[in-house]
Amino acid sequence: METLAQDLSPEEQFQARIDADIRIEPKDWMPEAYRKTLIRQISQHAHSELVGMLPEGNWITRAPSLKRKSILLAKVQDEAGHGLYLYSAAETLGTSRDQMLADLHSGKAKYSSIFNYPTLSWADMGCVGWLVDGAAILNQVPLCRTSYGPYARAMVRVCKEESFHQRQGFEIMQTLCEGAPVQKEMAQEALNRWWWPTLMMFGPKDSESPNTAQSMNWRIKRFTNDELRQKFVDMMVPQAEFLGLTVPDPAVKWNEARQAYDFGEVNWEEFWNVVKGNGLCNHERLQARVQAHEEGAWVREAALAHAAKRKAREAVAV
Amino acid sequence: MNQQEWPLWEVFIRSKQGLDHKHVGSLHAADAAMAMQNARDVYTRRLEGVSIWVVESKHIHASNPDEAAEFFDPAADKVYRHPTFYDVPDSIKHM
């Protein structure tokens, strides 16, 4: 196959590299649409990590033991770290941290809708780890091979840390399920509330996801939403059974022919409603973010002033 | 918008004695001391390193990928720099 590189348009050369699984690096030529889509996808992901700290932070002071508290603190710190890895990756595409945060705070940029649901009981910490992080892992593992180098490298780091998150969540659920009836009830109740929102994390149905084809072509998405949702259900139903819990979907049934679980239809009206900002906690989450940012402004300014002053002092000393 | 974004730093980590420092990512910090502490907190929460370098990103000069073909061209036709270029008789050992 001797097609000379110069016979191809930049777009064709770019696609050829992607098809050959050659990673794209920050200074390489790329189509504007690829750059824009990636900035949107990576920053949205970073925002999700950042906002994702809020529902769990809610429970740090009320964790049932010192051990659980230490674990939860470490997990929330990891989420902050994941946000930072991802913001750094997005910045290599030419956007700035300030711009991304401004877009989050103005509501222009989205984050995962799952964090717009409240965490009402300690069992919710179990569900967030077990289900929400479980779903996140399914989404994220394929992204370790995504076509944009800095994004893929950030995802490798994220995935390494994420499996602890899922396991600690499962352990919380298991402990509750092996405890008193009232504890098991709490676990079941949390599963009832988190199951469907977690299925929504994979995004709209393939038939309603017009950008999927282009994203798969660019290898910034490696499985479709429906494929991942199916995988998740197949993974989770047996785990729920192990815990002695019931997934809140009467349509869940093993399909021998498909070698997969059948399951019911997600409430898409609720999905779009939360995406549009009408979820239970949209307002509260964003407000908490903006408040933290604004109240931290003096710290950011003071650190810069301190650095400038010290630099000036060093210059005089020399 | 706040024009006073903290400068960007690149982070390099030696994962254990005997290995070289490797680029792991970047972060924002007001000065080198803060960059070092942030690098520790962001990139070594699980003992991933025994030594950290931080360099302000603006000090890094990178080769231009658009000129990579010409730039690396001088090495492309010098196969004789590789040991596999030479035929060594089978009976010759230790070479």
What is the chain B residue with the closest CA to A25?
B65
What pLDDT does A211 receive?
86
pLDDT-derived band at B37, boundaries 50, 70, 90: very high
pLDDT band at B1 (very low <50, low <70, confident <90, very high): very low
Q: What is the pLDDT of residues B58-94, one digit of tens each?
A: 999 999 988 999 999 999 899 999 999 999 999 999 9
| CA distance to A155, A225, A300, per residue, from A199 (Å) | 21, 10, 38
| Per-residue tens of pLDDT for chain A, all 318 residues | 455 566 889 999 999 999 999 999 999 999 999 999 999 999 999 999 999 999 999 899 999 999 999 999 999 999 999 999 999 999 999 999 999 999 999 999 999 999 999 999 999 999 999 999 999 999 999 999 999 999 999 999 999 999 899 999 999 999 999 999 999 999 999 999 999 999 999 999 999 998 899 999 999 999 999 999 999 999 999 999 999 999 999 999 999 999 999 999 999 999 999 999 999 999 999 999 999 999 999 999 999 999 999 999 988 887
Residue B9, classed as helix, strand or coil, is strand
- What CA–CA distance (Å, rounded) separates B35 from A85? 14
Q: Which one of A27, A297, A306 has the shortest CB-CB distance to B65? A: A27
**Interface contact A13, partner B, CB < 8 A:** no
Return the pLDDT at A6.
66
Expressed as residue numbers, the domain containing B28 is: 8-81
HSE at residue A302, side-chain half, CA atoms within 13 A, is 5
Question: Which residue of chain A comes nearest to B39, CA vs CA?
Answer: A81
User: Is B45 within the bounds of a domain?
Assistant: yes
pTM greater than 0.90:
yes
Determine contact: B60 vs chain A, CB below 8 A: no
B73 in a domain, yes or no?
A: yes
Q: What's the pLDDT at A163?
A: 87
**Cβ–Cβ contact A303 with B under 8 A:** yes
**Is B42–A102 a contact, with Cβ atoms under 8 angstroms apart?**
no
Answer whether residue B76 is part of any domain.
Answer: yes
CA of B65 to nearest chain A CA: how many angstroms apart? 6
Number of domains comprising chain B: 1
β-bridge mates for residue B55, sequence order:
B10
DSSP summary character for residue A157: H
- CB of A309 less than 8 A from some CB of B: no
CA-based angle A199:A203:A207, to the nearest 5?
115
Does B54 fall in a domain?
yes
B65 → closest Cβ in A28, A89, A91 = A28
Quote the minimal CA–CA distance from A76 to chain B in Å.
12
Strand order in the sheet with B8-14: B22-28, B8-14, B51-56
Mean pLDDT calculated for residue range B11-21: 97
Tokens for A157, please give them.
């780091």
What is the pLDDT at residue B17? Answer: 97
Tell whether A4 lies on the interface with B, counting CB pairs under 8 A. no
Distance, in Å, from the CA atom of A69 to the CA atom of A55, rounded to the nearest integer, reads 14
Asked if residue B88 is part of any domain, the answer here is no
State the pLDDT at residue A239.
98
DSSP classification of residue B46 = T
Which chain B residue has its CA at the smallest distance from A90's CA? B26
| CB crowding A103-123: b at 16 or more within 10 Å, else e | bbbeeebbbbbbbbbebebbb
Give B66's contacts in chain A (Cβ within 8 Å).
Answer: 29
Residue B13: CATH number of its domain? 3.10.20.520
Judged by DSSP in three states, A252 sits in coil
Least CB–CB distance from A98: residue in B2, B30, B46: B2
A304: nearest CA partner in chain B: B30
Amino acid B4: pLDDT = 79
**Contacts with A157 from chain B: Cβ below 8 Å:** 25
The pLDDT, as a whole number, for residue A5 is 61
Contacts of B25 in chain A (CB under 8 A): 85, 88-89, 150, 153-154, 157
**Of the candidates A42, A160, A190, the residue with the CA atom closest to the CA atom of residue A104:** A42
Contacts of B5 in chain A (CB under 8 A): 96-98
Residue B43 in any domain: the answer is yes
B44 in any annotated domain: yes
In-domain check, residue B89: no
The residues in A 23-42 lying below 8 A from B, measured between CB atoms, are 25, 27-29
Contacts of A97 in chain B (CB under 8 A): 5, 28
